[in-house]
């Protein structure tokens, strides 16, 4: 290969790599508006487990208990791709393993929108698909806590739980959503998913497609 061709190929490669990088890495800060700010809120960043004895910890989340990622239809009795739930679901969902209570939390930074937030003009929509198994009362919830620059809580919202009656005693998910105005002074949002076992040995609190979207 000629020297000139090598230089041209290297330049093209550099352009391709730069175009594939997130805005923040390419020198253009990604806006916090009009997109889901939660990383791996859909459980798709991992290869989900298909064995109850295996706990796959979700990327981007700090977990307790046996909170993990499981495949739709991984084993009989668990939600499959035909169960009530997200219409555009991926391959996986979140569940609580065998622990009585399992959690996953993540901090979302919104400080780049401080001016708009402090002006009281930023709206949020927080949503999640929450579910459980059959007529059992195990459940999942999702919460968002709005924190100031000193990590003090300014307010928050809790989605769920979804009851067996809400699911018509079927294994699957029901969507819950809440919209409001982000409190002035908010700099980060702590998002927490919780799976709670009420009966049995498996923690069948199911969660999927958790989303936090800001608009102005």
CATH code for position 136: 2.60.120.260
Q: Are residues 14 and 41 in the same domain?
A: no
**What is the pLDDT, as a whole number, of residue 19?**
37
Q: Looking at the chain, which runs of residues are DSSP E strands? A: 62-64, 68-71, 92-95, 101-109, 123-132, 139-147, 153-159, 172-181, 188-196, 206-215
The span from the CA of 191 to the CA of 207, in Å, is 13
Residue from 200, 153, 171 nearest 80 by CA: 171
Q: Are residues 137 and 184 in the same domain?
A: yes
Q: Are residues 22 and 52 in the same domain?
A: no
**What is the pLDDT, as a whole number, of residue 30?**
80
DSSP assignment of 38-49:
STTTTS-SS--B
Domain housing 105: 31-215
> Which residues contact residue 211 at a Cβ distance below 8 angstroms, ignoring those fewer than 6 apart?
36, 38, 41, 125, 126, 127, 128
Q: Are residues 14 and 112 in the same domain?
A: no
Q: Are residues 90 and 127 in the same domain?
A: yes
- Listed as ranges, residues in the chain with pLDDT below 70 are 1-29
Q: Are residues 59 and 19 in the same domain?
A: no
Q: What angle do CA 24, 15, 6 make, to 5 degrees?
A: 145
**What is the pLDDT, as a whole number, of residue 14?**
39
**What is the pLDDT, as a whole number, of residue 159?**
98
Q: Are residues 96 and 183 in the same domain?
A: yes
The pair of three-digit structure tokens given for residue 36, joined into one six-digit string:
């889901």
The span from the CA of 210 to the CA of 40, in Å, is 8
What's the total number of domains in the chain?
Answer: 2
The span from the CA of 156 to the CA of 45, in Å, is 26
Q: Are residues 9 and 109 in the same domain?
A: no
How does pLDDT run across 163-213, given as a tens digit for each residue? Answer: 999 999 999 999 999 999 999 999 999 999 999 999 999 999 999 999 999
Rounded alpha-carbon distances, angstroms, from residue 1 to 4, 12, 13, 17, 137: 8, 15, 16, 22, 67
Q: Are residues 4 and 53 in the same domain?
A: no
């Amino acid at each position: 290969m000629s020297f000139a061709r090598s230089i041209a190929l290297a330049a093209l490669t550099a352009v391709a790599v730069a175009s594939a990088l997130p805005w923040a890495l390419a020198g253009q800060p990604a806006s916090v508006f009009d997109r889901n700010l939660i990383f791996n809120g859909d459980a798709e960043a991992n290869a989900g487990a298909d064995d109850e004895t295996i706990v796959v910890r979700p990327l981007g989340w700090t977990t307790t208990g046996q909170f993990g990622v499981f495949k739709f239809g991984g084993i009989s009795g668990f939600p499959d791709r035909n169960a009530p739930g997200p219409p555009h679901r991926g391959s996986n969902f979140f569940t609580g393993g065998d622990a009585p209570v399992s959690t996953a939390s993540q901090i979302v930074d919104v400080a780049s929108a401080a001016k708009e937030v402090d002006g009281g003009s930023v709206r949020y929509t927080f949503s999640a698909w929450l579910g459980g198994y059959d007529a059992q009362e195990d459940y999942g919830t999702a919460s968002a806590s709005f924190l100031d620059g000193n990590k003090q809580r300014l307010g928050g919202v809790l989605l769920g739980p979804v009851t067996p009656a809400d699911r018509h005693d079927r294994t699957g998910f029901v969507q819950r959503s809440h919209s409001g105005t982000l409190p002035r002074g908010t700099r980060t949002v702590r998002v927490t998913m919780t799976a709670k076992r009420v009966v049995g040995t498996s923690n069948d609190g199911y969660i999927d497609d958790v989303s936090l979207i800001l608009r102005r």
